[in-house]
Amino acid sequence: MSAGAVVGVDERGRDVQFDHLAALHTVTVGQTRSGKTIFSHMVLLAAARDPRIRVCGVDPSGLLLHPHRRGEDDPLIHLGTDDPERACEVVESLVRIMDRRIKTLLAHGVDAVPREVLRPAFPKYVIVLEEFAGLLTWLDSEDAGRKAGEKYAPRFKSAVGRLAREAAKASLNLYLVLQRGEAAFLPDRAQLARRVAFRQDNAASVSLLMENATPEDVQRIMSLAPGQGVIWEPGEPLRFLRADFLPYADYRSAVLAARAGDGSREVVGDGAA
């Protein structure tokens, strides 16, 4: 695994690192109180501490992304479930950033954004979609009674699908969080190359997510203790881990401290504040 932030230890006591700058979309699954949220605290705190990374996305609960906001009206973060239009605008804005970057790649004759060009004015975007299944269910409920051309869920799914298929090369990566690895809630599943699982209650969901897991691995994942999980990246074996523990209050204060010290400005697009 590439060098990155330490988010836990494996069974041999070795650090487990999470490389935000890798061109990988991530999905993290786990039942309530299984450890997925604590793990996400560690992952997103590491992102906040790197001035080259911009954390953004849609968070129905409002907790995970709240300390990452850049102002009350951050155009790239939406919290809560009171404004489906705004939720769609966030992911559509990120698609526009992606499209601009891809045009730049074509103009320079390269197929991916090099790490060395990343900076606060041209950041890596980590796009968090918290409780993704619930997010889609909310948008579907908002669409009840609306005409086909006025529905929110198809707009949102289309934008997320484009990001899943095209954004990694432009240095925009999805970070999806949900309770189960169900096909209905995994857009372009093959594109979600980095997969993290905490305790699950459904063997089929585990097998869908961890395609190289043995039957023994599946049973083990279904009986993991809180805070224990498994991570899989392309070309690597399954790696069981214990996530570092970071309570929400500590996560929030640490993110705010990191943001206060990075001197970053609001970035809406590449090089535009």
Residue 5 within any structural domain of the chain: no
- Is residue 255 within 8 Å of residue 61, measured between CB atoms? no
On the question of pLDDT at 183 being above 80, the answer is no
On the question of pLDDT at 270 being above 70, the answer is no
Residue 3 within any structural domain of the chain: no
Q: What domain range includes position 163?
A: 16-261
pLDDT in tens, 187-216: 678 899 999 999 999 999 999 999 889 999
On the question of pLDDT at 262 being above 80, the answer is no
Task: Name the band, by pLDDT with cuts 50, 70 and 90, for residue 104.
Answer: very high
Residue 10 within any structural domain of the chain: no
pLDDT in tens, 66-96: 999 998 899 999 999 999 999 999 999 999 9
Domain of 217: which CATH number? 3.40.50.300
Structural domain total, the chain:
1
Residue 268 within any structural domain of the chain: no
- Is residue 155 within 8 Å of residue 142, measured between CB atoms? no
Residue 273 within any structural domain of the chain: no
Cα angle 72, 54, 245 (rounded to 5 degrees) comes to 95
What's the pLDDT at 182? 80
pLDDT in tens, 145-174: 999 999 999 999 999 999 999 999 999 999
